[in-house]
Chain A
Amino acid sequence: MDSHDDRVKRPEPQRTGPVRNWWTLFGPPGSVPPSGPGMPGMPPMPGMPRPPSGGDPVSQGVQLGYRVIEEYMRQGQNVARMFGMPYPGGTMPASGGPPMEVLFRSFSEFMNLWMQMMGGRAPGAAPTAAAPAVGIAGPFAMGEPHVPAPVPRQAPVSVPQQSEGGQVALTLELESPRRTEVSFDLRPRSLGLPLVVHDLRAPEADKPRITGVALETVPDEERLVLRLRIPAEQPPGIYSGIILDERTSLPRGTLTVRLAP
């Protein structure tokens, strides 16, 4: 018997790994810092765990710590409500938004949602029209036009040297035969500098480097373009490289790529 044509096959997986960082998707759980967590003697908030029963400081500390997360959750849910997003325990938006199952379908789709939200809200968001990307580029959805990466917005602050002239938008041009997650981390005030990216290396010495990574600045648009091509034979793993200021050779950031198995 050589043919198993009618054999049963596993369904296609929605995804093959956990979502490790909700903050990456949704941003911080509230724009307002949490109110002071309860100190000893403070009455519990509604729905919070029972008040401390006295005893040792570790017990009290753990108990009080529980109040903080509830406050974060409350604020996070408020934000989610504001943006019409689903959240555990919450009801769906009244506007007849997409069902929970659809929204939970994949990490990529979450990212898209986030991107749309940011694109609609963030002033100065980068234009989305550019050369089409190829391959699967988690957290970016396959086949989508490339979109700006979720660079955190720089808030104006009162200390002059921390002021930043707007945000940096990123266009990712990715060719990859497999699911690829890209983490891009750039220090403030890097826009306009001649940036280069070292070859991306894996911790394992036997894995080949990812070469030819290019990072270009488009000053008129306050935009960076990152070009990344993953060869078909590149083994799965995590590859990292440093982003340098070409003139000074000082590091300006890091680029990390995770190739899923």
Chain B
Amino acid sequence: MAKRFRWFTPLMVGALVMAACTTTPTGGDGKTVTVIGTWTDAEQAAFLAMVAPWETETGNTVKYQGTRSINDILAAGVPTGVLPDLAGLPGPGQMAEYAAAGALQPLDDVLDVATYTSETSPALVDLGKVDGKTYGVFIKAALKGLIYYNPTLHDYSASAPATWDELISQGEANQGDAEALWCVGIESGDASGWPATDWIENILLRQSGPDVYNDWWAGKVPWTDPAIKAAFDLYADVIDNTYGGGTNAVATAFQTGGDALFDNPPGCALFQQANFMSGQGKFATLTAGTDFNAFPFPALNPDYANAVEGAGDLFGMFHATDAAKSLMKYLVTAEAQDIWVKAGGALSANKNATSYPDDFSKNAGAAVANAEQFVFDASDLMPSAMNAAFWSHMVSLTSGSETVDEALAALQVVAEDAYAE
């Protein structure tokens, strides 16, 4: 290095040190509320639109950061205390963990509890509680297990199949040129396999009911139980009737999983996914109701015909500043939730938020808010090691490298370890 550039080195060191010190999500001051969530792009814009009226009213500001690695940030932040004021929580399991660690603040004095409980689906209210205290609220909900179809090939809306047998017979009768009955796409990067776990959950819930379902994710029903095996067997049947077989299901991203519905000739006639699929892949470019539509997952056992599986984004508070409390209180109100659902793609857990952009979302929202038997996405409630193994073995099973019995035996081995603590 030339002599006259020697002064440059310490400068560079300084720049490096500075670069290392930027943007760690910490608590804001009295006027700013720091928020981290998983929403990016369009969802982030919808969230910011939702908090805008609150900002104007109170004069406070929201500093939002959208990230896909919320899990890692919170896992590192809870022991060190470097946490935002409000954050999306990965799931009820982690919420209980953070509450037990004393990081998460109870919300019973923050929310207008009477209004909140009267407006929100009881199952979702309960999922936000740890030892009777509310620590998390569902700021956004999702409805799982919708069966999508292309109404230009066959319109099921007049007489949607009520039972699985009807679904199969109607589906096969109206398959037309479609190469296979089903489309499945389970590739999702680090979370590959989750769409397949949704399949198992939707089947199990309607075959064996919410009690078995809830005992199963809680680790009280072994994976080798006949009830679980029956659900896996039915899923294996679906894969046998899938466009491109299990190999293609594993190779296809969930976002584009249903695109073959609209191919010419179509690859498949039916596709199972959650309500948020309407914003993914080809669905995002099409109009709900005319270009695509969906009917609810049909009953497998008449006793559980009204059971519904859903999921949602939990939200919790780490620093009980006045501004954070006020924002938290605002977020669950029907007024705020209305803005959220109007943007499309999101469902609200709040019954009084009804400004959905179309009937498709409106029906899905009503199904969540008024469900008689509502269960939460089981894989998200399992210990994280169990959840990861469930995803991973669904990939193996779908690709055909494991049989149902092999997958279940392997999952049981993981369960004995994962639920031990």
User: Do these two chains really belong together in a complex?
Assistant: no
